[in-house]
Amino acid sequence: MNKLTQALLCSLLFVAIVSATDCGYYCTSCCDVLTNRLIDLENRVTVLENSKVKTISIASPIQNNIISSTTWTLLPGTTTNVEITRPSNLIANIHTVSHSDNLGTGAQAVDITGFLNGYLMSLGNPGTVAPTGLGIDHTLQWSTTPALNQQYLSPGNYTFDIRSRLRGSTANPGEVNNPGAVLFIVPL
Three-state SS for 64-102 is CEEECCCCCEECCCCCEEEEECCCEEEEEEEEEEEEECC
pLDDT greater at residue 167 or residue 1: 167
Query: Among 24-38, 56-70, 150-164, which range has the highest average pLDDT?
Result: 150-164
pLDDT of residue 77: 92
Q: What is the DSSP string of 147-183?
A: EEEEEEE-SEEEEEEEEEEEEES----EEEEEEEEEE
pLDDT of residue 102: 59
* CATH number for the domain running over 54-187: 2.60.120.760
Q: Which pTM does this prediction carry? A: 0.71
pLDDT of 64 above 90: no
Domain boundaries, the chain: 3-50, 54-187
Q: What integer best gives the mean pLDDT of the chain?
A: 78
pLDDT confidence band for 167 (50 / 70 / 90) = confident
pLDDT of residue 74: 94
pLDDT confidence band for 133 (50 / 70 / 90) = low
Task: Report the C-alpha dihedral over residues 128, 103, 144, 165, rounded to 10 degrees.
Answer: 40
pLDDT greater at residue 124 or residue 87: 87
pLDDT greater at residue 103 or residue 66: 66
Q: Rounded to an integer, what distance in angstroms lies between the CA atom of residue 94 and that of residue 128?
A: 20
pLDDT confidence band for 68 (50 / 70 / 90) = confident
pLDDT of residue 159: 97
Q: How many CA atoms lie within 13 A of 56 on its CB side?
A: 18
